[in-house]
């Protein structure tokens, strides 16, 4: 139980970090909805682990990362549809010009924001899992 709560808090904090750093995402201002959103993201990580064990796939960094990424995109979609105060919006990336490297401005769609958020959350949670197993 102690390990579960520690992992739950870690994954919720990782989810909060990702949601607060993504530019096109507005998180709920109501505390209950915010905690529920973070809880759903954390449970997604636990669900990915359970699915991998059910499918008898060895759980390592790559498999955990891929499964959490796939489930995370669906979770972001469901949270956007049903969670009040949680919105993902289209925004414009301004571009970068450093002399040698030029990235032109382009539009970041809702789906790309979901994939980037899921990628970031699954990367953080998979790193947590690997570090926990090695200690």
pLDDT digits (tens, 9 = 90+) for 39-61: 999 999 999 999 999 999 998 89
User: How many structural domains is the chain composed of?
Assistant: 1
pLDDT of residue 61: 92
Answer whether 0.85 is exceeded by the pTM.
yes
- pLDDT band, very low/low/confident/very high, at 10 (cuts 50, 70, 90): very high
Enclosing domain of residue 21 = 2-134
Q: Average pLDDT, whole number, for the chain?
A: 91
Q: H-helix or E-strand containing 87?
A: strand 87-88
Q: How far apart are CA 1 and CA 45, in angstroms?
A: 16
């Amino acid at each position: 139980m102690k390990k579960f709560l520690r992992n739950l808090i870690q994954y919720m904090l990782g989810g909060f970090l990702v949601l607060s750093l993504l530019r096109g995402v507005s998180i709920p201002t109501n505390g209950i909805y915010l905690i529920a959103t973070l809880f759903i993201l954390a449970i997604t990580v636990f669900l990915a682990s359970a699915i991998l064990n059910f499918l008898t796939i060895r759980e390592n960094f790559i498999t955990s990362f891929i499964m959490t990424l796939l489930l995370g995109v669906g979770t972001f979609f469901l949270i956007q549809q049903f969670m009040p105060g949680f919105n993902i919006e289209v925004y414009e990336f301004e571009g970068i010009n450093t002399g040698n490297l030029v990235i032109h401005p382009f539009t970041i769609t809702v789906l790309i924001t979901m994939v980037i958020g899921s990628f970031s959350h699954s990367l953080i949670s998979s790193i947590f899992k690997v570090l926990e197993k090695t200690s």
